[in-house]
Structure 1
Amino acid sequence: MKQLLLIPCLLLAACSTTAPAPGAAAANPLFTDRHTADPAPLVVGDTLYLYVGHDMARGDEMFNIVEWRVYSTTDMARWTDHGAVMKPTDFKWASRDAWASQAIEKDGKFYFYTTVEHDQTRPGKAIGVAVSDSPTGPFVDARGSALVSNDMTPQGPHTWDDIDPTVFIDDDGTAWLMWGNANFYYARLKPNMVELDGPILQAELPKYVEGPWVHKRGDTYYLTYASMDKSVSEDELVSYATAPAITGPWKYRGEISGPAENSFTIHPGIVEFKGQWYFFYHNGVLTVGDQGGALGRRAVAVEHLYYDADGGIVPIEHTREGVSVPRRH
């Protein structure tokens, strides 16, 4: 009888399963049945959606990220796995690499900005944008071409400077795209969300490496990013800057997070959900089957985030308990 009940679920592409972390609710890592990376939260009504890449590197392989997946929760304790929402080759002009992404809602549609490897017609990393009527997809290419490609930006130190897109819609409805490895780029988006509206600009950020994320609290804009300070660690840290406007000027405020355990990279995602702020990131502590955590086998985690009296972000300690244990700064 159990086999008969499972058959309809297997036949439904959109079938989801509830995936709470084992033990205490919302303990870290959040998901233990597969390796996940580059978390990007999105709040829609009373639900938080979390977009991740699916790490599938084996052995000493560096990165093999083959699809993007989405999870959701209404209470930060129980998570629903909605499965894969897209793969790199769904962009016909792309060849591989489901690198970091972010989804955002506008006018009832959901836009998914993400990093892929462009085919040989425009080699290098590129940013694509896909669209869906649902936060759980499926997402389809919204342009038929890259939104940003390597030949559109100043010559960087390598061909993967156009990665890690983050998108922010300001209070006046203007949307901004920010991205970059080694170089920090930003550009305004047209109201249709799938075209740039003006030149690609650059800003200098102390210790900047990659993985920018923008959020706003009150009148202050926060730009959080993976940074590097070899006097502290050989691995990435998380730093942040604040500004009175989305275009800056950005004031460096320091580091809020040390390196992720057993992971060179770290990727911040910050969101307010039901009156509480959360800091998402990934580490390399999870073993799945015969594959332990590593550079290309990461695991998504979350912590509470607090602000001090001056609006600064209180430094965050990475824990195995995550948000299952109430904390006060």
Structure 2
Amino acid sequence: MIKKTTAISLFALLCGTVSFAQKNPVISGWYADPEGIVYNNEYWIFPTYSAPYEQQIFFDAFSSKDLVNWKKHPRIIDANEVKWANKAMWAPSVIEKDGKYYFFFGANDVHEGEIGGIGVAVADRPEGPYKDLLGKPLINKIVNGAQPIDQFVFKDKDGQHYMFYGGWKHCNVVKLSDDFTKLLPFEDGSIYKEVTPENYVEGPFMFIRDNKYYFMWSEGGWTGPDYKVAYAIADSPFGPFKRINTILEQDPKIATGAGHHSVIKVPNEDKYYIVYHRRPLGKTSAHERETCIEEMTFDKNGHINPVKMTFEGVKHVLK
């Protein structure tokens, strides 16, 4: 015999009067390494298309007013435009400057002696279409043991742009020219500075809060369940970065492989969201990754509180 309350709930569900508030993942399909940012009073996500390397020859983008309802902008750039890229187009980082949008990306899973690495493209709108700016990689070679992937472009308080990048457990920072076509030397004459913190693997990200530099990265293997995010706080964009804690990791009730994130700061508010990928429970393929969003908060000392993964996600309408 069905209990009365259960029968009522079942009737309501069948009649469409009951809905579930699940908002994570926020976009449909397998997407990873999401760059989240606000442009033109809209939220944007620029992710990696999560698939075998040979199929990763394009990028899609997604825009939203409320972090819930997302519009897909397909193939904003692909390997037909980037002639030197033939696989493994990864981990976009997009920055606006002087009315232009610059799209940094990795391609070809490059190893020593191969063509590939970090490229840059440009467009008049965040949704593109993007055109290859250089016709070749901006960074092709292996320096300090860092594979040229997982680039994040950071604008400092004085307007100078730096790029943090690196796989294979090494992270470099470089100084970018105003037109993003070349690397500039630091004051000591060096071009590449290694800033690798403890346990770093890949996926660097940086933001400023209360005049402090928060440097974040992913640890563990991206194909497995133990992928996670950790962070440090410094007084300079160059560190030193002393690891403080893990703030995002697998939850046996929600998902595994949580990592390679970015952070959205809501304009004119002390409100932050972490945009990341995770692997649904029961999924074991390296490429089965979904993009999700959670609120990210701080304690009274400015430390990042551990992020709890949810199915509910978040909602925030830009004013």
TM-score class normalised by the smaller sequence: 0.7 to 0.9
Once the two structures are superposed, residues 182-223 of structure 1 have per-residue CA deviations (whole angstroms, 9 ceiling, x without a partner) of 111110101112211120110230110000011111201111
CA distance in 1, matches of 2:22, 2:122: 29
Query: In structure 2, what is the Cα distance between the partners aligned to 1:124 and 1:316?
Result: 38
Aligned residues, how many?
A: 286
- 1:49 aligned onto 2:44: yes
Contact 2:89–2:106 (8 Å) recurs in 1: yes
Q: Out of 162, 171, 184, which is 1:197 matched to?
A: 184
Within-5 A mapping of 1:219-230: 219-228=211-220
Structure 2 equivalent of residue 187 of structure 1: 174
Deviations 1:19-77 (A, max 9, x none): xxxx6567111112x211111012113111110122234xxxx7742321111111122
Matched, 1:170 2:166: no
* Cα 1:118/1:204, change in 2 over 3 Å: closer
Unaligned runs of 5+ in 1: 1-22
Give, in whole Å, the separation in 2 of the partners of 1:162 and 1:141: 17
**Structure 2 CA distance for partners of 1:63 and 1:210, relative to 1, 3 Å:** farther
Instruction: Specify the alignment match of 1:272 in structure 2.
Output: 265
Opposite residue 28 of structure 1, the aligned amino acid is: N
TM-score of the two chains, using structure 1 as the length reference: 0.79
* Cα distance in 2 between the residues matched to 1:81 and 1:26: 19
Unaligned runs of 5+ in 2: 1-18, 186-190
Structure 2 letter corresponding to 1:41: G
Task: Give the corresponding residue for 2:188.
Answer: none
Q: Secondary structure at the match of 2:158?
A: coil
Amino acid corresponding to residue 297 of structure 1 in structure 2: E
Query: Any idea what the Cα deviations from partners look like across 1:220-255, whole Å, max 9, x if unmatched?
Result: 1111110139xxx96221000111111222232111
One-letter identity of the residue aligned with 2:194: Q
Amino acid at match of 1:141: D
Distance verdict in 2 for CA 1:228–1:80, change over 3 Å = same
Counterparts in 2 of 1:25 and 1:265: CA distance versus 1, 3 Å: closer
The answer for the alignment partner of 1:17 in structure 2 is none
TM-score by length of 2: 0.82
Change (3 A) 1:299 1:63: farther
Cα distance 1:119–1:36, how it changes in 2: closer, same or farther (>3 A)?
closer
Which residue of the partner structure matches residue 28 of structure 1? 24
Between the aligned partners of 1:40 and 1:26, the Cα distance in structure 2 is: 21
Question: Contact 1:237 / 1:258 at 8 angstroms: preserved in 2?
Answer: yes
| Inter-partner Cα distance in structure 2 for 1:29 and 1:293 | 17
| Match of residue 3 from structure 1 | none
Relative to structure 1, the CA distance from residue 200 to residue 85 in structure 2 (aligned partners, 3 Å threshold; closer, same or farther) is same
Residues 137-176 of structure 1: matches in 2 within 5 Å? 137-151=128-142, 153-155=143-145, 161-176=147-162
Partner of 2:13: none
* One-letter code aligned to 1:178: F
Q: Secondary structure at the match of 1:268?
A: strand
- The verdict on how the C-alpha distance between 1:97 and 1:272 changes in structure 2, with shifts beyond 3 A counting, is same
Q: Secondary structure at the match of 2:277?
A: strand
Q: Does 1:214 align with 2:206?
A: yes
In the TM superposition, residue 280 of structure 1 has moved relative to its aligned partner by: 0.7
Share of identical aligned residues, percent? 27
Aligned-pair CA distance for 1:154 = 3.4
Q: Which shows bigger deviation, 240-249 or 88-97?
A: 88-97
Paired residues of 1:27 and 1:320 also in contact (CA < 8 A): yes
Q: Are 1:77 and 2:68 counterparts?
A: yes
The one-letter amino acid of 2:266's match is F
State how far apart, in whole Å, the 1-side matches of 2:306 and 2:109 are.
37
Contact 2:110 2:148 in 1 (8 A): no
Deviation at 1:143, TM superposition (A): 1.0
Residues 64 and 71 of structure 2 are in contact (CA less than 8 Å); yes or no, is this contact kept in structure 1? yes
1:38 paired with 2:33, answer yes
Counterpart Cα distance in 2 of 1:101 and 1:64:
16
| Residues in 2 aligned to 1:192 and 1:63: alpha-carbon distance in whole angstroms | 31
Corresponding residue of 2:59: 68
Larger radius of gyration: 2
Do the aligned partners of residues 134 and 64 (structure 1) sit closer, same or farther apart at CA in structure 2, a change above 3 Å counting? same
Distance 1:121 1:238, change over 3 A: closer
Measure, in 2, the Cα distance between the counterparts of 1:185 and 1:88: 26
